[in-house]
Amino acid sequence: MPRTTTASNKGKDESVRVVVRCRPMSDKEQESGCERAVDIDVQRRQMSIRRPTGESSQRSSDDTIHNFFFDAVYDWNSQQKNVYEQTARPLVDSVLEGFNGTIFAYGQTGTGKTFTMEGIRSQVELRGIIPSSFTHIFDSISHTTSRQFLVRASYLEIYNESIRDLLSRDQNKRLQLQEHPKEGVHVHDLSSFITKNIQEIEHVMTTGNLNRSTGATNMNEHSSRSHAIFIITVESSEIGMDGKAHIRVGKLNLVDLAGSERQAKTGSTVKF
């Protein structure tokens, strides 16, 4: 079950939303006769986990079902578009207004994190949060006449506590976190590319994906064994009532995390 968390910073107010999405059973799970142990109540925003029938007889009835409540829940029939519109769109709107936000999916390997975040870009109905945010940002810019925009994209990977710039020509170089008096904590020397449309920002992401560390695991043949963060910085300039230009800067961090399970469980072999 991938958990998508969104956080935005508006002045002194900070909010975090935790959203749960449960994927459908795979063909292998269905063929093996696996039993679904999760129930989703979308209206109540509740997820219930019950013990498989083979184990319930060994437990008391009060210990059979555990209920959890979240900001939103999505079952195995949920659509990519609905997840984006209800969960991510408000945060991306705030980034366009000059606030910072982060969206990430958390869960074990094979739970659908990458599908939720990226999906299948070539099919509109299967596009995930990241490509949907690209369309959202540039569509909003094209319909805004009162402000001038500049969109920049960066892409980094964190693996074994090392930071690598996925857009750098030198993939052996490791970057360092530094603290700047004005910018705060940032990755020193991380490259940034100006993108003017959806095609350009998708090209930046495709280039970075080719440099990601992946590897086969017991749980997923093409698992991402690293954390990847795609950073979109949106700067806008608007002439105020005083006749001066007022600058807003919003940053959107789109994160695809590695599986949350222990590496020993996955039997992973990593490829760079």
pLDDT of residue 196: 96
Residue-level pLDDT at 11:
43
Whether residue 272 is contained in a domain is answered as: no
With a pLDDT cut of 70, the percent of the chain lying above it is: 81
Mean pLDDT along residues 53-67:
64
> Could you tell me if 30 and 101 lie in one domain?
no
Q: Is 178 annotated as a binding residue?
A: no
pLDDT for the residue 15: 83
Q: Last residue of some domain: 60, 75, 90?
A: 75
Q: What is the pLDDT of residue 267?
A: 45
66 located within any domain: yes
**How far apart, in whole angstroms, are the C-alpha atoms of residue 101 and residue 192?**
18
Residue 230 and residue 192 share a domain: yes
pLDDT in tens, 217-237: 444 444 456 889 999 999 999
pLDDT the model gives residue 224: 56
* Residue 271: pLDDT over 80: no
- Among 47, 75, 103, the domain boundary falls at 75
Which residues of 119-226 form beta strands (DSSP E)?
A: 148-159, 162-165, 177-180, 184-187, 193-195, 214-215, 223-224
Across-strand partners of 65?
50
Q: Write down the pLDDT at residue 185.
A: 80
Q: Which residues contact 50 (CB under 8 A, 6 or more apart)?
A: 37, 38, 39, 56, 64, 65, 66
Domain housing 71: 25-75
Instruction: Give 27-58 pLDDT, tens digit per residue.
Output: 888 888 888 889 999 999 999 998 766 654 55
- pLDDT for the residue 110: 85
* 107 in any annotated domain: yes
Between CA 164 and CA 182 the distance in angstroms is 23
Q: What is the mean pLDDT of residues 118-129?
A: 90
What percent of the chain is modeled with pLDDT above 90? 51
Give tens-digit pLDDT for 244-259: 889 999 999 999 888 7
Report pTM. 0.81
110 annotated to bind ligand: yes
Query: Is 50 part of any domain?
Result: yes
Quick one: 106 and 160 in the same domain? Answer: yes
pLDDT at position 217 is: 41
CB 35: neighbour CB atoms within 10 A? 10
Q: Which residue has the higher pLDDT, 117 or 8?
A: 117
Residues 175-188 have pLDDT tens digits of 988 887 877 788 98
Q: Check whether residue 205 and residue 105 sit in a common domain.
A: yes
Residue 83 in this model has a pLDDT that exceeds 90:
yes
Identify the CATH number of the domain in which residue 163 sits.
Answer: 3.40.850.10
Residue 271 resides in a domain? no
Which residue, of 33, 56, 75, is where some domain finishes?
A: 75
Do 51 and 118 lie in one domain? The reply is no
Report the pLDDT value the prediction gives residue 133, as an integer from 0 to 100.
Answer: 96
Specify whether 57 is located in the same domain as 166: no
> Reduced to 3 states, what is the DSSP secondary structure of residue 63?
helix
Binned at pLDDT 50, 70 and 90, residue 111 comes out as confident
114 annotated ligand-binding residue: yes
Instruction: Let me know whether 162 and 259 are in one domain.
Output: yes
Q: Do 15 and 66 belong together in one domain?
A: no
pLDDT value, residue 222: 45
Q: For 100-110, what is each residue's pLDDT tens digit?
A: 999 998 888 88
The total domain count for the chain is: 2
Are residues 100 and 162 located together in one domain of the fold? yes
Query: What is the mean predicted confidence (pLDDT) over 11-19?
Result: 72
pLDDT on residue 17:
92
pLDDT tens, 134-147?
A: 999 999 999 999 99
Whether the predicted pLDDT of 73 surpasses 50: yes
Note whether residue 232 is domain-resident: yes
Question: Is 184 marked as a binding-site residue?
Answer: no
> 207 and 192, same structural domain?
yes
16 and 29 share one domain: no
* Radius of gyration, alpha carbons of the chain: 21
The reply, when asked if residue 112 is annotated as ligand binding, is yes
Are residues 237 and 140 part of one domain? Answer: yes
Query: Is 107 annotated in some ligand binding site?
Result: yes
Residue 25 reports pLDDT greater than 60: yes
CA 15 – CA 41 distance, rounded (Å): 23
| CB neighbours of residue 270 within 10 Å | 15
